[in-house]
Amino acid sequence: MRVVVQRSRQASVEVDGRIIGKIDFGLVLLVGFTHKDNEETIDSMIHKILNLRIFDDEDGVMNKNVRQVGGKILSISQFTLYGDAKKGNRPSYIHALNGKEAVKLYDQFNQKLSEYIEVETGKFGADMQLSLINDGPVTILLEKESL
């Protein structure tokens, strides 16, 4: 499982010209799954995301997590995180989990995450337009390999 975490001042996602998810402050997550990912992978990634200290404390040091600063999450499915462009110029997506299985894990991820924090989402498999103001900018790549 791969997640690109972006600290955001404002973010929204549109499908067919209509905003379907929006946050004012928090984290934008681009979420991708691979073949061995499972519930354990999801639980581990949620723990890491919720405890990632990338927000400033009173002294301007990145020492607080998203819940400590009252942030929200915008979660976007992103199979292209598993694009492999080592050979040629057209990425291969053979390491990305197929849509039928990935949507189950994506829904499970968002449902479990929403037990701890407010979560907005995009639409799995849709052509989405994402707008965000990346705060900092702060962008972290998280990866959890399933065994």
Catalytic center residues: 78-80
CA dihedral (123, 28, 116, 125) in degrees, to 10, reads 20
Closest of 110, 141, 134 to residue 123, by C-alpha: 110
The single residue listed with the structure tokens 């404390």 is 57
Q: Which residue has the tokens 């639980």?
A: 43
CA distance 97 to 89: 21
DSSP code of residue 88: S
Quote the radius of gyration of the chain (alpha carbons, Å). Answer: 15
Identify whether the C-beta of residue 95 lies closer than 8 Å to the C-beta of residue 48.
no
